[in-house]
Structure 1
Amino acid sequence: MGRGRSEIKRIDNPTQRQSTFYKRRDGLFKKARELAVLCDADLLLLLFSASGKLYHYLAPTVPSVKDFVERYEAATHTKVWSDIRQERRAELEKVGKMCDILEKELRFMTVDDGEQYTVPSLAALEHSLEAAMHKVRSEKDRKIGGEMSYLENMIRGKQAERYGLCDKVSALVPFSQIFP
């Protein structure tokens, strides 16, 4: 008579959970070895424990993990390995180009007396300066408008406070006593 099926759920006891992990891990690796040998299958098994430790099995017919992953990428047309150095290099080139453009614009904004500028370049400079002035003026107007509305609200509040005080004073002292 065999054992009955047990419900698959997380083991609450940490010691028992760790013991079960090691036993099951060893059984899984044994099955992977058997599959690789019996069926001549290329196999890579990666396993991370709850603590983050890596365990892996690589079939004897596979030269390296990198070769196996590259073969997987070719078969599935997906990218698992990403060359971080290549990505960083591309990012640095992009930032470098942006810095060059900004430096050119900055040099262009500071008109040097010794430089010989063409009329179209001066017209472009004038246009960009006018656009910048427009942005500055609109931001200044927005700020001044905000301050004016704040001050108007403050004045309304003070006036309401004054009217309230006048009402309190008139309720306490008759008008004829204030102005005889």
Structure 2
Amino acid sequence: MVRGKTQMKRIENPTSRQVTFSKRRNGLLKKAFELSVLCDAEVALIVFSPRGKLYEFANVSTQKTIERYRAYIKDNINSKTVHQQDIEQIKADAEGLAKKLEALEAYKRKLLGEKLDECSIEELHSLEVKLEKSLISIRGRKTKLLEEQVSKLREKETKLRKDNEDLREKVYAEKLLLP
């Protein structure tokens, strides 16, 4: 015969409630014992009856298990708190970096001559001065590179002239030696 599903609500009849408590308490204690034996788990079970009577089971020591539990919870809460603080810090850093990136992109657009409608006279003057400084720096670097190229080409020209002169002398010497 199949038992019907028990509804999960308070049993109103005090006698039935006490009988159910007693049976389920014994079943729970038995399951705790089986778990500790079969799985070599550290188990502590504490149950107070509706009248305040204590029932407990521990395969080691209830006190040791509770202390271990408290230490575990304390460590977990601390690590979660630190972890949560890290997450908050990372979020704040990401928001700050996003704002900086947005500002840099806006500045880059202004340097490229885009969206200048939003700029005041002072901002436009500041951009102009910065661009002129950049141009001076760019032109200086370009001039230096061109001077280096010219210097290398002059060295190459000098070498080629010398090689050419050596070849002429060689050809002239061969003509004199021919009968």
Larger Rg: 2
**Structure that is richer in helix per residue:** 2
Give TM-score scaled by structure 1 length.
0.44
